[in-house]
Chains A and B, each alone.
Chain A
Amino acid sequence: MRFLVIRKADQATEAGVPPTEELLAAMGSYNEEMVKAGVMLSGDGLQPSSKGARVKFSGGKPRVIDGPFTESKELIAGFSILQVDSKEEAIEWVKRWPVIDGDGEVEIEIRRLFELEDFGPSEAIDRMREVGFAKPK
């Protein structure tokens, strides 16, 4: 099973406050543990929403709105993708998140990824499978 782990944004991440060395080191070690355990599929930090944009579709027509976006708690500051055997295992890993992140105040969301098998039989899905889409390893 694969899970997307989302580190929610806060005022500091949105303000572009750079991580302290301590945090960088702690996150580095944490990521290293997950890599060594073979559960980390990828992971990255996201720049503040001021560097981003939103595209709203209405009647199928897109409209672009530049960041920043004000509601920090809606936003994402980082993510990783884990491959584990259960949601409980994913939660277990997330519980080990470095406590110094966010000065001890941080929210992590865990979401399960769709695998191609989760969809019923479908030509479109077969095509995606052919192209090598969403293959768990």
Chain B
Amino acid sequence: MTVSDTHRAIDAVWRIESARLIAGLARLVGDVGAAEDLAQDALVVALERWPEAGVPDNPGAWLMATAKHRAIDLLRRRSLLQRKHEQLGHELEERQESAVPDLDAALDDHVGDDLLRLMFTACHPLLSTEARVALTLRLVGGLTTEEIARAFLVPAATVAQRIVRAKRTLAEAQVPFEVPRGAELAARLSSVLEVLYLVFNEGYSATAGDDWMRPALCEDALRLGRILAGLAPQEPEVHGLVALMEIQASRSRARLGPSGEPVLLLDQNRARWDQLLIRRGLEALRRAEELGGAEGPYALQAAIAACHARARVAEDTDWRRITALYASLARVAPSPVVELNRAVALSMAYGPAAGLELVDGLTSEPALRTYHLLPAVRGDLLDRLGRWSEARAEFERAAALTRNAREREVLTERAEGCARREAESRRTPAPTGPEA
């Protein structure tokens, strides 16, 4: 193997092993920043030795053993070693060699727990959202600073700074390396899920023509979600989020048209939906429901996505079920956007008039003031009701609000369509009343 072959192999080993390595070390030294430094030190040694000696049979164990020696030095320097041994109920051993097996045993029991501790720590509420994202992707995701920077379209130096500051914040606040318990757990878990979904959406809503890092972001978020589902299998909302991400990801290949323009869900070629991911998503949703989490916000969103996934063609969509799910979502996680989506579902299930009633109530909603989909939806409903001059005004408003050029074209075309229908109706006697 050439040196660069070995380096690529080492990168691969790092992606597989680094999170657990850092997590185990963090439990040893009590601080994620120090843990990552120790892990990086071990990586440096690997980069020096493995090109010649070859990648070891058990690279994870090699890295951990290498890092642990330095960890013990660190603890010794901090005079913590004695206390650690006391904690473990052992007599103080003077020699480093005998210190290692004791700690070994303590570490091996807790691999999964440590990774969970790492996820919670990286998503700690003391940190800003950007910091949580950067730290999670780095420590748990194994992404390099450059990869994170490219994913979020910020300079690498910015990401590096965020990570440095985040570690310092955690260290200064002496945030304990632990899984939160009791009442705290729900809120902290929510923070973790929020970070993962944020990363996913960053990749999912990427506009066409972007670097292929963006679909990779969805993959990273999904991977972290699946990891979390393995670490916290009794938490229904974790499965709910994974379900949502699997099903949304299943549509990736159908979401962009030939010219790179976004294709609306109802217009997508469903033959391009990834059935494997859909089944994985449905299985995760089932898990969430079996755990009694059907009413969780992520589970509900996943259930809505599942309704679409189950419809082999758009016409088969169970809109009544979707409407009911949005009603539940509006109760547990109310927001104007949820209401707007509920209105669309209502109109599909019960006709445009039903949807319009709800949408009319949203027109003065401050949060939706510059949201182009509000007038777009209203325009569509008015169009279907034959109120074409009003519809046209709404589409024009929507076209003015959107920042996406292709969407603006589509909305302008809709406005023109309404104008044509309005003109036609003046020439020929109009049917009375809205269409049934």
The total of interchain contacts (Cβ-Cβ below 8 angstroms) comes to 29
0/1 interface trace, chain A 26-41, chain B, CB 8 Å (1 if under): 0011011001101011
Q: Contact: B275 with A40, CB < 8 Å?
A: yes
Query: Is B271 in contact with chain A by the CB < 8 A criterion?
Result: yes
**Looking at chain B's contact residues, is the secondary structure mostly helix, strand, loop, or mixed?**
helix
Report, as a range, how many residues of chain B touch the other chain. 10 to 19
Partner of B271, one of A35, A41, A137: A35
Binary A-proximity of B257-280 (CB < 8 A = 1, otherwise 0): 000000000000111111110010
B283 touches A (CB below 8 Å): yes
B279 CB contacts on chain A under 8 angstroms: 41-42, 137
C-alpha spacing A81/B276, complex, angstroms: 9
B275 touches A42 (CB 8 A): yes
Distance of A127 Cα from B313 Cα, bound (Å): 37
With both chains docked as a complex, state the minimum distance between the C-beta of B5 and any C-beta of chain A, in angstroms: 10
How close is B260's CB to chain A, nearest CB, in angstroms? 18
Chain A at the B interface: mostly helix, strand, loop or mixed?
mixed
For A95, what are the chain B residues with a Cβ–Cβ distance below 8 Å?
none
Closest to A37 in B: B312
Give the shortest distance, in Å, between A136 (CB) and chain B (any CB).
Answer: 10
- B9 CB to closest chain A CB, in angstroms? 9
Contacts of B271 in A (CB 8 A): 28-29, 31-32, 35
Does A132 make an interface contact (CB < 8 A)? yes
The yes or no answer to A96 lying at the interface (CB within 8 A) is: no
Residues of B within 8 A of A (CB): 269-276, 279, 283, 312-313
List 21 A-B residue pairs with CB atoms under 8 Å apart, sorted by A's residue number.
Answer: A28-B269, A28-B271, A28-B272, A31-B271, A32-B269, A32-B270, A32-B271, A35-B270, A35-B271, A35-B273, A35-B275, A35-B312, A36-B313, A38-B312, A41-B279, A42-B275, A42-B276, A43-B275, A81-B276, A135-B283, A137-B279
Instruction: Tell me the A residues contacting B by CB distance below 8 Å.
Output: 28-29, 31-32, 35-36, 38, 40-43, 81, 132, 135, 137
